[in-house]
A and B are shown apart, each in its own frame.
Chain A
Amino acid sequence: MQPIIDYITSYLGNKTQTPGAAGNLFWAFVYILLVFLGLSVAVIAMNWLERKILAHMQVRLGPMRVGPHGLLQPIADAIKLLLKEDIMPAEADGFVFWIAPFIVVLAAFTVFVVVPFGPTHAITDMNIGILFMLGVSSLSVLGIVMAGWASNSHYPLIGALRSSAQMVSYEVAMGLAVVSAILMTSLHGLGLYGAGGVGTGDTGTLSMIGIVQAQQEQGVWFVFKFFPLGLIAFFIFAIAMVAETNRAPFDLPEAESELTAGFHTEYSGFRWSLFFLAEYSAMIAVSSIAVTLWLGGWLRPFPNLLHGATWDLVFNLFPGITFLFLAAICFYSTARMPKHPYFKIQTIGLAGFGAVLGLIGLALFVPAVFIRVQDIYWFAMKVAAFMYLYIWYRGTFPRYRFDQLMKVGWKILLPMGLGLLILTACMGMRSELRHQVVEPLWHRVANIL
């Protein structure tokens, strides 16, 4: 018994390594469970938020019946989906039809192995981090193609063809934007290739944690580096990632007005819910790539402008304040609930939910707690901003036509990405030249004069 306890506690004092890097299987497993749990909660929350926000954008109320303000609607939906009859078309290709949703879900969840929620809060850190994320998430298109083909039906086939064409096209632009961000990790201004991430010598890094640490060392988020080059790369990625996850305004593969539901038309019940789960977790995955590469990952905002112990403390209190704010909204809604006895249980439930949120918020004011979770908080908040953008796009933009989609991908984003890559390299060389050639020369001239 003692060796097991020793093994478990041996990681606890470790403040520099992820459980994967420390080789501790137990904590790696705990982290996997936590990430899976967090993702599931996030998908459920997204389901509710998307309906509510979209409804309010269209001056509707959205779900109001199940639970106060429809809070229990996602759970009711999940129960409905699990109880629904599972239908497989008679002419479908059984094995491929069966395995396709699993491939999509596996690809969407596996990428979270390397997502850095904090310097030590990741399941593991890989030398090829970002490459792994892009590679594994590109496998999900295989699942979509298989689902569309195996259904043996026209709408799914057309949806799958559109989807694969779209994802392959936008992967190129996405890759170019990512490469220009990776290039920035090595352009630090010392030596010819600059100092990259921690412990990588004089080269850049692909490791997700290394990329954020490079931004920390250089003192700039890559979205602001070489202004406006970083910003343009970020915009290319932000457009490509919407296309990559098949979301509005690029949701042609599941355009309901033309293709019923696209590649998952023939799926029902549990299998359909797997596609749903995969879509939302893929959205979170690409958002976390964008946050890690350009928005400083777990770093808090304004580290240069608002620094010092006081500002650190203020920013450390943010997580607790957020939860207290949510609790206050819950209590306000509780007070506004109808006083009819029919709503009694709902009112008590909402008050209880608010009390739980408030207790979490109070716990987050304990220094030992907020020191450990503040990086997770900032990462989650940045990803949440992207999730809101996804809903906003869906409420704002009309759907693209297919030829317009291809034109944007190949004729606008791809050349922009190529030019951007070259310009980023030139800017890097320029700062190197200034350090190595121009400044020494200037010193010499000044000495002579």
Chain B
Amino acid sequence: MNPPVATPFFFYLLSGTMLIGGILVITRRNAVHSALALIAALLAQAGLYLMLYAPFVAGVQIILYAGGIMVLFLFVIMLVNLERAQKERQFNKQWLVGIAAAGALGGLFITIYTKGKGIFPDRPMPASLEGTNTQDIGKLLYGQYMFAFEIASLLLLVAIIGAVVMAKKRI
């Protein structure tokens, strides 16, 4: 049997990368650097999905976020006048609200961490899921959760049409 890949070392490495990336996103003055830090954070997140034995989600994360959405982000940012953007104030005055929100979220996490033992299964998931991960997801999406899946795709379709209508004045 193969030795497990999901060791604590990789978990701390990946979450450390994510945290540093996330902090860099909001502290960098240059918007392109922020976007690059965000890409690093998203890739580390894909690694975390891999550690959870969910290779399909990790692959989709890379292909959609790192390879698709962030390219469009960079595409737009590169057209922005960076010299003017550098002179703008970096943080706005809503930091009080921000701290309150962050505190509430942190409190939630701590509560779950200390008292939420009943929520999670008390034993690790069966590890054999990795080999057929994609097939399992496909069966669930097109079997058990068919309705929710179709509703989600309909919502996305509405969003696409809305984007086209807003972008084009005369159709």
A136 near B62 (CB under 8 angstroms)?
A: yes
| A131 in the interface (beta carbon within 8 A) | yes
Given contacts A141-B71, A142-B70, contact A201 B135 (CB under 8 A): yes
Residues of B close to A171: CB separation below 8 A: 67-68
CB distance from A249 to the nearest CB of B (A): 23
B67, B70, B71, B72: the one contacting A135 at CB < 8 Å is: B67
Tell whether, in the assembled complex, residue B75 and residue A126 are in contact, meaning their CB atoms are under 8 Å apart. no
Asked whether A96 lies within 8 Å of B133 as measured between CB atoms, the reply is: no
Q: Does B36 contact A (CB under 8 A)?
A: yes
Known: A128-B59, A128-B134, A131-B59. 7 other contacts (CB 8 A): A135-B67, A138-B63, A138-B66, A145-B71, A148-B78, A167-B71, A200-B132
Q: Is B21 an interface residue (CB 8 A)?
A: no
Can you report 28 A-B residue pairs in the complex whose CB atoms are below 8 A from each other? A23-B3, A93-B32, A96-B33, A127-B55, A127-B132, A128-B58, A128-B134, A131-B63, A132-B62, A134-B63, A135-B62, A135-B63, A138-B66, A141-B67, A141-B71, A142-B39, A142-B71, A145-B71, A145-B74, A148-B78, A149-B32, A149-B78, A157-B78, A164-B71, A168-B71, A171-B68, A200-B135, A203-B138
A135 to B69, CA, bound (A): 12
Q: How far is the CA of A188 from the CA of B5 in the complex (A)?
A: 35
Whole-angstrom distance between the Cβ of B41 and the nearest chain A Cβ: 14
* B10 → A minimal CB distance (Å): 16
> A345: CB under 8 A from chain B?
no
Q: Of residues 161 to 182 in A, which have CB atoms within 8 Å of B's CB atoms?
A: 161, 164-165, 167-168, 171
A165–B78 alpha-carbon span in the complex (Å) = 13
CB-based contact A164/B66 at 8 Å: no
Please measure, in the bound complex, the distance between the C-alpha atom of A146 and the C-alpha atom of B32, giving whole angstroms.
9
Interface size class of B (residues with CB under 8 A): 20 to 34
Chain B binding surface SS class? helix
User: 1/0 per residue B33-71: CB within 8 Å of A?
Assistant: 100100100000000000000011011101100111011
- Whether A131 touches B60, Cβ cut-off 8 Å, given contacts A145-B74, A160-B78, A203-B139, is yes
Number of residues on chain A facing chain B (CB within 8 A)? 33
Q: Which residue of A lies closest to B58 (CB)?
A: A128
Q: Are A146 and B132 in contact (CB-based, < 8 A)?
A: no
User: Are A201 and B36 in contact (CB-based, < 8 A)?
Assistant: no
Does B162 touch A at the CB level, under 8 Å? no
> B2 in the interface, Cβ–Cβ < 8 Å?
yes
Q: In whole Å, how far is B35's beta carbon from the nearest beta carbon of chain A?
A: 10
- When distances are taken between beta carbons in the complex, the residues of chain A under 8 Å from B75 are 145, 161, 164-165, 168
Given contacts A128-B55, A146-B36, contact A203 B135 (CB under 8 A): yes
B146: min CB distance to chain A, Å: 14
B16 sits at the interface (CB 8 A): no
Q: Closest Cβ of chain A: how far from B20's Cβ, in Å?
A: 15
Cβ of A206 < 8 Å from any Cβ of B?
yes
Task: Tell whether, in the assembled complex, residue A139 and residue B132 are in contact, meaning their CB atoms are under 8 Å apart.
Answer: no
- Tell me if A161 and B78 are in contact (CB < 8 A): yes
Which residues of chain B in 62-110 are interfacial with respect to chain A, using CB atoms and an 8 Å cutoff?
62-63, 66-68, 70-72, 74-75, 78-79
4 A-B pairs with least C-beta separation = A138-B67, A23-B2, A135-B63, A135-B62
Residues of A within 8 A of B135 (CB): 200-201, 203-205
Bound together, the chains give a CA A201 to CA B134 distance in angstroms of 12
Note all chain B residues with C-beta closer than 8 A to A161.
Answer: 75, 78-79
Chain A min CB distance to B80 (Å): 11
> Judging by beta carbons under 8 Å apart, are A201 and B63 in contact?
no
Residues of B contacting A165 in the complex (Cβ-Cβ under 8 angstroms): 75
In contact, B71 and A128 (Cβ under 8 angstroms): no
Q: Is B130 an interface residue (CB 8 A)?
A: yes
B55: which A residues are within 8 A, CB to CB? 126-128, 132
Please give me the residue from chain B that is nearest to A24 by CB atom.
B2
